[in-house]
Amino acid sequence: TTGTTVLAFDMGASSGRALIGRLLSDSDGQRKLEVTEIHRFPNLAIQVGNHLHWDILRLLHEMKKGIRLAFQSGYEPSTFGIDTWGVDFGLLDANGELLGNPYHYRDSHTEGLIEEVSGLIGQETLFLQSGLQFMPFNTLYQLYAMKKAASPKLDIAQTFLLTPDLLTYLLTGVKSCEFTMATTTQLYHPGTQAWNTELMDKLGIPSRLFLEPIQPGTIVGPLSPGVTAELGIPSMQAVAVGTHDTESAIAAVPAGDGPFAFLVCGTWSLLGTEMSQPLLSEEAMKLEFSNEGGVGGTYQLLKNIMGLWLLQECKREWDEQGKEISFPELVRLAEQAAPFRSLVHPDDPRFFSPGGMADKIRGFCEETNQPIPQSEGEIVRCILESLALRYRQALEQAEQLTARHYGGLHMVGGGIQNQLLCRFTANALGKPVWAGPIEASAIGNMLMQLVALGDCKDLREARNLVAASFPIDVYEPSADAGWSTAYGTFLHFGRV
C-alpha cells in the first residue's frame, strides 16, 4: 500500500532536481521509501558586471514547473521541502520584495576578508563563537563585503533570508529561518544558541535583519493562493527540512547506532562525524574543522574539501574547447593513466575560483617539482588520487579530534557515481567504503518531511528507513603499497 507522498527540491551548485518520495509498505508491514525524479534543471552562476550571481528567479520558475509536473503525473504530495548549498542569501525590503540578485558564494568580493575580520575580532574568538572553519564564502564575509562597499541594499533591507528560506518565501509568502542553514553563516553562536548580535554590531552588520531560527521538521505554511491558482493545483504545506543540503545528506546516511564517519560527495566533499555537541576546541580550529548544526539536535564535525569541483571545472573548460568528454569517459581515461605520477592539494586556495583549472593543477605540480600532467586522463587521475589522499588525512584528523576509531567510511551523494573515486578512497584509507545512497540530500529532505508529518518518529527511525530502502555498494581496500608512499608525499604539501 502507498502511504504519504512528499516532494523534495534539492538544489546543487550545478543543477537542481525535484523528486517525489512515496512511503510504501508491503504485506508484513515493512516500510520502504521510493524515490522518483520528476524534474531536473541546470543551475548557473552568472557574471553580471563585477559580481557573480545566482539566477534565483529561474530557480523559482523551475520549482513551479516541478510542482506542476508532480501533480500532472498523478502524485499528490502533502508537503514539500527545499534544501540548497550553504551560506548564500537574499535580502527583502520593507514591502517584502527581493533586493537584487543574490550573490554567488564564489564571487570575489570576499577576497582577503578572512584576514581582515580575524584582525578585528580575533581568530579564536570567531571560532569559539561560531564553530566554523574559516571559509572565504561564509555569510559573515559576504555581508561584511557589502558593508565595506557601502551597499545601499543593506541600509534598506528589512529581512535576511538564506537561499532555501528565500525560495520557500517566494512560494508561500512566509518568512522563516531554518537552523541548519543559520549555522553556516558564522553569525550564529552555537554556545548561546542564538544569533551573535554582538559580532554583527562590531562589524556593522544590521542585526534587525535576522529571524529566530526554527528547527528542521517544522511546518512553515501552505503555498500562497497566488501560486496554487497559477499552477492550478490544491494546496500543499512547506516544511523546513534540513535545508542545508549537506545536513539533509547526512540525515540519510544509513548508519546504525554508534559513531560513524561520513563523506558527502558532490561539488564539495564534506568529511566528518556526527556529534551531540559542537566541539569548540583549539585543536578543532587548528585542524580547520567546522561544527555545523544538523537535524535532530546533532552537530556535524566536518571539514570542507574542495571536492569534485576540480573535475567539474576541468570538464567545463574541455567542453568549451569543444572536446565534450563525458564524466564516465573521463574516469575511464584516468583509469588508464599511470598511478601516483603527480598530486595536488585539493584545498590550495587557487582552486577555489572558477576558470583555468587544468592550468592551475599543472602550475601546482610544477611548483612542487612533480611531473606536469598533460592529457585529460592524467589530470583526472591526479585529481581523484589527490582527493582520496585528502580524505585519509581528514579522516585521521577526525579520529584524532574525537578520540574515536572509524571502521570504514559512509560515502553518499552524486559523487559516488564515480566508482573510481570510491575505490581509490577505500585504498587510500585502507578501510572499507560503504557507498549509498546517491540521492542522499533529497532523501534526507524527504525524511524530515516524514518526521514533520508524524510518519517517522525521529532521526534513528528515519535512517532505518533509508537502510531498508536503498542498496549499498561496498568497496574493500586493496593491499596496494603505492597508496602509503603517495600519502607520505601528500603530507609534504603541508596543509592541515
Active site residues: 245
**Shortest CB 124 distance to ligand LFR, Å:** 22
Q: What angle do CA 301, 279, 386 make, to 5 degrees?
A: 35
Give the CB-nearest residue to ligand LFR.
86
Yes or no: say if 447 and 423 are a contact pair by the CB < 8 Å rule: no
User: In angstroms, rounded to a whole number, what is the distance separating the alpha carbons of residues 360 and 362?
Assistant: 5
Which residue number, 53 or 431, has a Cβ lying nearer to ligand LFR?
53
Looking at the DSSP assignment, which residues form a beta bridge with residue 25? 31
Written as nine digits, the cell of 355 is: 576558470
Burial 457-494 (b: 16+ CB within 10 A, else e): eebeebbebbeebbeeeebebeeeeebeebbeebeebe
Specify the pairing of strand 51-54 against strand 45-48: antiparallel
Which residue number, 269 or 402, has a Cβ lying nearer to ligand LFR?
269
Cα–Cα distances (Å) from 201 to 151, 165, 208, 466, in that order, read 17, 24, 10, 43
Which residue number, 163 or 402, has a Cβ lying nearer to ligand LFR?
163
* Measured distance between the N- and C-terminal CA atoms of the chain, rounded to whole angstroms: 51
**Shortest CB 87 distance to ligand LFR, Å:** 5
**Shortest CB 300 distance to ligand LFR, Å:** 10
Give residue for cell 599511470.
Answer: 338
Which residue number, 87 or 239, has a Cβ lying nearer to ligand LFR?
87
**Shortest CB 281 distance to ligand LFR, Å:** 21
Which residue number, 274 or 455, has a Cβ lying nearer to ligand LFR?
274
**Shortest CB 132 distance to ligand LFR, Å:** 9
**Shortest CB 180 distance to ligand LFR, Å:** 10
3-state secondary structure 153-177: HHHHCCEEEEHHHHHHHHHHCCCCC
For residue 288, the SS3 value is coil
Q: What angle do CA 399, 304, 83 make, to 5 degrees?
A: 115
Chain positions contacting ligand LFR, by CB under 6 A: 85-87, 105, 244-246, 266-268, 270, 304
Written as nine digits, the cell of 349 is: 586556495
CA 134 to chain CA mean position, Å: 16
Which residue number, 268 or 391, has a Cβ lying nearer to ligand LFR?
268
